[in-house]
């Protein structure tokens, strides 16, 4: 791969995402947690509102759970908000650990991303976009372990952060899962090319899923309204919210925020 061509392309076309304009580890941790399973452009307004309300780890650690969940509501996967608050509590009390995976809810990927973008650690950051780019280029279905090693081999000295951002940008905007824009790829030379992807089985409407029901129940509790979900689906949703620590039930069985 022509890494120089990749970096030059990135400098020309990079999207102006707000977390790319900071090296604050707290802001970067917020962005990485929000970006899990969520598209970048959808995250931007939530990220900006979150930092206005909770500008640092101390502010988030001190915030009532209701305020944290209200700020997150609508983004989905609400348990991420509580995990982020637990991590912020550790940082506020003890500072940033050298090994970021010691923070609650922070796995190897998030630790690598924050370490690279906040402190310029020379580590490879490998998400699904990077995996797709490298697997297509090399014609290899990499395992997570071999993929990290392959990406690390490509790191340009002293420019890991820019390389990581460029690879993720390439996968998100050009080397897309479907209908890749190979004609716009800055490193198309030598690429094995996209392979046919298996067709996905039909998916239920989001409104028919328990995840939707959990979101509606939580939003109703935050607003002090009667949840618009009933019957067995309501019980499944409440059980899931309780399991994730997002609600508690009193002796009368009624759900409330923790």
Give pLDDT tens digits for 54-88: 999 999 999 999 999 999 988 888 889 999 999 99
pLDDT at 255 (0 to 100): 74
Whether 253 is in a domain gets the answer no
Q: Are residues 169 and 47 in the same domain?
A: no
Task: Indicate the pLDDT class of residue 243, thresholds 50, 70 and 90.
Answer: confident
* pLDDT digits 0-9 by tens, 39-54: 899 999 999 999 999 9
Alpha-carbon torsion 136, 138, 143, 147, what sign? negative
Q: Are residues 38 and 155 in the same domain?
A: no
pLDDT at 44 (0 to 100): 96
| Cα 192 from chain centroid (whole Å) | 28
CA–CA distance, 152 with 146 (Å, rounded to integer): 10
pLDDT at 213 (0 to 100): 75
Catalytic machinery residues:
32
Check: CB of residue 78 under 8 Å from CB of residue 218: yes
Residue 75 dihedral angles phi and psi, to the nearest 5°: -85, -25
The residue segments making up the domain with residue 147 are: 1-15+122-194
Residue 15 dihedral angles phi and psi, to the nearest 5°: -75, 145
pLDDT at 156 (0 to 100): 94
Instruction: Between 31 and 214, name the one with better pLDDT.
Output: 31
Calculate the dihedral angle through the C-alpha atoms of 105, 134, 160, 164, rounding to the nearest 10 degrees. Answer: -60
Whether 137 is in a domain gets the answer yes
**Across 199-221, average pLDDT:** 73
Examine the pLDDT at 204 and tell me if it is beyond 90.
Answer: no
**Across 109-124, average pLDDT:** 95
Q: Are residues 47 and 109 in the same domain?
A: yes
pLDDT at 170 (0 to 100): 96
Residue that terminates a domain, selected from 94, 119, 144: 119
What is the CATH number for 127?
Answer: 1.10.1670.10
CA–CA distance, 130 with 208 (Å, rounded to integer): 32
**Across 170-198, average pLDDT:** 86
**Across 92-120, average pLDDT:** 95
Residue that terminates a domain, selected from 82, 104, 119: 119
Q: Are residues 115 and 126 in the same domain?
A: no
**Across 148-156, average pLDDT:** 92
Q: With residue 88 as reference, give the H or E element that holds it.
A: helix 79-94
CA distances from 81 to 36, 55, 152 (A): 12, 15, 31
pLDDT at 199 (0 to 100): 60
Whether 256 is in a domain gets the answer no
Q: Are residues 158 and 31 in the same domain?
A: no
pLDDT at 195 (0 to 100): 66
- Terminus-to-terminus CA distance in the chain, angstroms? 51
pLDDT at 237 (0 to 100): 74
CA–CA distance, 62 with 54 (Å, rounded to integer): 9
pTM (predicted TM-score):
0.85
Radius of gyration of the chain (CA): 20
Residue 62 CB coordination number (10 Å): 13
CA–CA distance, 69 with 229 (Å, rounded to integer): 19
Residue that terminates a domain, selected from 119, 139, 173: 119
- Structural domain count, the chain: 3
Check: CB of residue 93 under 8 Å from CB of residue 106: no
Calculate the dihedral angle through the C-alpha atoms of 103, 107, 112, 115, rounding to the nearest 10 degrees. Answer: -10
């Amino acid at each position: 791969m022509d890494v120089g061509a990749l970096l030059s392309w990135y400098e020309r076309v990079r999207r102006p995402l707000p977390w790319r304009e900071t090296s604050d580890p707290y802001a970067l941790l917020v962005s990485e947690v929000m970006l899990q399973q969520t598209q970048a452009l959808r995250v931007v307004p939530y990220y900006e509102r979150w930092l206005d309300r909770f500008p640092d780890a101390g502010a988030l650690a001190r915030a009532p759970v209701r305020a944290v969940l209200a700020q997150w509501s609508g983004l989905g996967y609400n348990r991420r908000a509580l995990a982020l608050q637990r991590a912020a509590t550790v940082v506020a009390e003890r500072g940033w650990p050298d090994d970021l995976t010691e923070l609650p809810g922070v796995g190897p990927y998030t630790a690598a991303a924050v370490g690279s973008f906040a402190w310029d650690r020379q580590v490879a950051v490998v998400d699904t976009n990077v995996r797709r780019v490298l697997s297509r280029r090399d014609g290899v279905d990499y395992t997570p372990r071999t993929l990290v090693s392959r990406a690390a081999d490509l790191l340009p000295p002293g420019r890991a952060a820019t390389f990581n951002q460029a690879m993720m940008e390439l996968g998100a905007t050009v080397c897309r899962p479907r209908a890749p824009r190979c004609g716009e790829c800055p490193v198309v030379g030598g690429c094995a090319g996209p392979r046919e992807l298996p067709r996905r089985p039909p998916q239920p409407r989001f409104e028919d899923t328990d995840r939707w029901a959990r979101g509606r129940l939580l939003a109703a509790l935050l607003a002090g309204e009667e949840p618009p979900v009933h019957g067995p689906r309501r019980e499944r949703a409440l059980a899931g919210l309780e399991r994730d620590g997002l609600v508690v039930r009193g002796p009368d069985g009624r759900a409330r925020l923790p």
